Structure 1
Amino acid sequence: MTIRIGANPICWSNDDMVELGGDTTLETILSEAHQVGFEGLELGKKFPRTPDALKAALAPYDLACISGWHSAKLLTRDANAEFAAMGKHLALLKAMGSTVMVVCETSNTIQGEIETPLSRRPHLKGDEWKVFGARMTAVGDRLLTEGIRIVYHHHMGSVVQSDDDIHAFMAHTGPSIDLLLDTGHAAWGGADPAALAARYRDRISHVHTKDIRPAVRAQSDAEDWSFLKSVLNGVYTVPGDGTIDFAAICRSLPGYSGWVVLEAEQDPKKANPLVYTTKGYAYLKTVLTQTGLM
């Protein structure tokens, strides 16, 4: 697999805040994604969840099913229970030819709580990392036997947010677990995305790209906003519209093969999805080409 550029439907319609793009139809998302030039989409709540229906929805627009999000709860249940909980999702991804599953620990996350400031996000300490990592690895080992690899999504408001968190997570998980490098979450969480790319190059098999508006991030940090309040105020934008050095990130991923997914959640009334995804796609393609990844 060479590099393919895809998108997440959160660019058009937000699953966590239905007021953002809630009236946008699936047909609009699919047709605009095709118009921009994306080769595939990750799943969102508006997508059918049976293979036949999903294939029928995507086929007219020549779009692949890239992957889909799974909310893990490994801090409160064991690996066997987690594997059982992802059964239907796993079956759908396999039927669609996906090779990775986006996983994030959500048992105690605050990412969906608009009134809870980021300073109150959960943390793991000591042996908690060991237990969490062992459970995640056990699930990852089983998924690999099904032909699917876990790509872990570090996320603002969750137990894997900061640079130190990411290092601890990677140190306590085995080779069946790869990192989903999310440029926006990394930068906002205090990590250097290019440094993460270089350090974990051999364990990065999925990339999410979004940029940061530094003034909004600074205000969010200063006033201790929640994750969702920050998104509503425009902390994220598409690649090339903020301050993240995507060329440096690309240069730190030599030989990368897989999906590069545009995933910049914004208020569609303030940032027209077709306009912004078009801009982000063009920028990504240029940077990927100029750095030799495409």
Structure 2
Amino acid sequence: MSRQTMFPKGAVKFGITPTGWVNDDFLDIDTGIPFEQIVSEMALAGFEGCSRGHKYPSDAATLKRALDMRGLVISEPWVSTYFTINDMKEQTFKSFEQEIQFLKEMQSGDLVLAELGGSSHQQPIALVPNAPKFSDEQWRKLADGLNELGHKANCHGVKMCYHHHMGTGVMTMDEIARFAELTDPDCVHFCLDTGHLFFAGGDNLEFIRLYGDRIRHVHLKNIRKEVMDYSLANDLSFKEAILKGVFTVPGDPAGCLDFKEILQALADKQFEGWLIVEAEQNPAVATPLLYAQMARKYLEEVTGL
């Protein structure tokens, strides 16, 4: 008898980010775990892909060889865009072209990006009160820039997926709605981040209902609600919230998100693509391999895959 699965076999792939081992926004959240151990533990936990972190080899051939040895592929690189601030369009396009070339060399992955112009998330300041509010002109520049990049990505056969993000100008459901209206759905897709959306006051099931046809990439991030509430009430920075333990993995009983509902909603929308476990945690407190294994076991139980 064949095993019942939530998604058709081959429709989804499971990956993980290195943010449980070492943080890419805050380099001092690091216990010294080397690249080789990070990717070995990802493979040991049962994942088939990973996003790129700052400890990874810069040479694509060297990186691909290390990942091939462990049965891993790249699920996504990250591009920070800066269309809403002055004199950064050329640099944004340059970064985009570099990551497109990287994807070609790696022969795998989607392009995930977010607009970080004016973002508060990397600053030692209150996260939500200092998130930017874009003017009509900034919205136009953002949409025009992303639509142009999205068409370029399509020409390269790459899925370009926009990541709504805490501390940025595309954070809340209202901001996401304006973003969706202004951007081309044929080339600017969504990366749903379950934790960022909930942190910003959004509803994952509503997001999937509204934008399910545009979701091409998913970050599965869980939330410890009591830490989130404390962080918002006390105007913590993003880094302070991370160190308090606001994020955790699917399958952690301390998390509040119902991933059975979220994953079923995605399956009902015929989602195909990467499902990426992401939990920005302090590795000195949350043993990375333990949490990676916890997440993969849970996802197997829920999806049958």
Question: TM-score range with shorter-chain normalisation?
Answer: over 0.9
- The Cα shift of 1:79 comes to 5.8
- Within the candidate set 242, 264, 268, 2:283 is matched to 268
Q: Where does the alignment leave 5 or more consecutive residues of structure 1 unmatched? A: none
CA distance in 2, matches of 1:79, 1:113: 22
CA distance in 1, matches of 2:243, 2:91: 35
- Within the candidate set 259, 280, 285, 2:274 is matched to 259
- Within the candidate set 266, 278, 294, 2:293 is matched to 278
- The Cα shift of 1:22 comes to 4.6
- Within the candidate set 143, 146, 151, 1:136 is matched to 146
Aligned partner of 1:208 in structure 2 is 219
CA distance in 1, matches of 2:62, 2:103: 13
Asked whether the 8 Å contact 2:74–2:109 carries over to 1, the reply is no
Moved more, 82-91 or 235-244: 82-91
Query: 1:44–1:139: structure 2 CA closer, same or farther, 3 Å change rule?
Result: same
Aligned partner of 2:205 in structure 1 is 194
AA of the residue aligned to 2:281: Q
Asked whether the 8 Å contact 1:213–1:235 carries over to 2, the reply is yes
Percent of pairs with identical residues: 33
- The Cα shift of 1:74 comes to 1.3
1:53 paired to 2:62: yes
Query: 1:125–1:245: structure 2 CA closer, same or farther, 3 Å change rule?
Result: farther
* TM-score (norm. length: structure 2): 0.91
Moved more, 226-235 or 98-107: 98-107
Query: 1:176–1:267: structure 2 CA closer, same or farther, 3 Å change rule?
Result: same
Asked whether the 8 Å contact 1:75–1:107 carries over to 2, the reply is yes
- The Cα shift of 1:89 comes to 1.8
Asked whether the 8 Å contact 2:220–2:277 carries over to 1, the reply is yes
* TM-score (norm. length: structure 1): 0.94
- Within the candidate set 147, 158, 177, 2:188 is matched to 177
- The Cα shift of 1:56 comes to 1.5
Moved more, 247-256 or 187-196: 247-256
- Within the candidate set 77, 81, 84, 1:72 is matched to 81
- The Cα shift of 1:113 comes to 1.0
Asked whether the 8 Å contact 1:36–1:281 carries over to 2, the reply is yes
1:89 paired to 2:91: no
Query: 1:140–1:80: structure 2 CA closer, same or farther, 3 Å change rule?
Result: farther
CA distance in 2, matches of 1:170, 1:245: 25
Q: Secondary structure at the match of 1:200?
A: helix
CA distance in 1, matches of 2:169, 2:19: 22
Aligned partner of 2:20 in structure 1 is 11
Moved more, 122-131 or 103-112: 122-131
Q: Where does the alignment leave 5 or more consecutive residues of structure 2 unmatched? A: 1-9
